[in-house]
Amino acid sequence: MKIATFNVNSVKARLPRIQEWLPEAKPDVVLLQETKSVDENFPAMEFEALGYEIAVHGQKTYNGVAILSKRPIEDVAKGLPGDKKDDQARYIEATIGGVRVASIYLPNGNPVDTEKFTYKLAWMDRLQKHVRDTLLPTEMPVVLGGDFNVCPTDDDVYDPEGFANDALCRPESRTRFRAMVNLGLTEAFRALHSETDAYSYWDYQRGRWPRDEGLRIDHLLLSPQAADRLSACEIDRSPRGKEKASDHTPVWCELEE
């Protein structure tokens, strides 16, 4: 089973690029983030024409997550538990082929001296609790994929000094990411790759993409049952180099059947 995560930065604006990429990459499951679309306006027909079932959790203009799957999507849950007042569309999970998958758009958190950073850290605490108390006890294979808006280490950012006080690299963010992994999760890319300069996001501004000045903030976290089946994980840089591309590029992993 090939599972990809892709922050598309507006599913409508990026639809032609996604329609090109899907037949080329042939993922069985795609976890989308930042769709920026209410559910009724999501381009369902276009993805169904390519053979995908769809589960969406969206809102107007901002955020939005979705799951595309070549296999039946079952037991869909929308929204991260733990705060009934949180109405931001940042989390959706479902079961596909016996694997529990989640598409995650974790808050950015900048500027760090505002409530946005407080919200990010609280959101990460809620996610950790959900993983610990709900997902891992099922002993199912679990894949948490998405834009985590965290560079786990200085190896994952082109300019560690310049980003030292950014919410993506702050110790508070990294500590929470590490604590979640320490619950028993495997970070799929790092399990198979040690190289630096392996990025999944390049800012549109100041020529970051041509100079390969990027960040690795899109991750796939696997439960022990999923990690036992991990056979490959790669960052697919090809979509980022195309016209009108998202500022993120897909990351995918393969689980043996």
User: What would the pLDDT profile of 76-123 be if each residue is shown by its tens digit?
Assistant: 999 999 999 999 999 999 999 999 999 999 999 999 999 999 999 999
Interval 162-211: pLDDT, tens: 999 999 999 999 999 999 999 999 999 999 998 888 999 999 998 899 99
Classify burial at 93, counting beta carbons within 10 Å of its beta carbon; exposed 0-12, middle 13-18, buried 19 or more.
Answer: buried
pTM of structure? 0.97
C-beta separation of 77 from 56 below 8 A: no
Chain center to CA of 136: 19
Which residues participate in catalysis according to the annotation?
105, 147
Strand partners, 30: 4, 68
> Whats the size of the chain, residue-wise?
257
Only one residue has tokens 């903030």, namely 217
Domain 2-255 carries which CATH code?
3.60.10.10
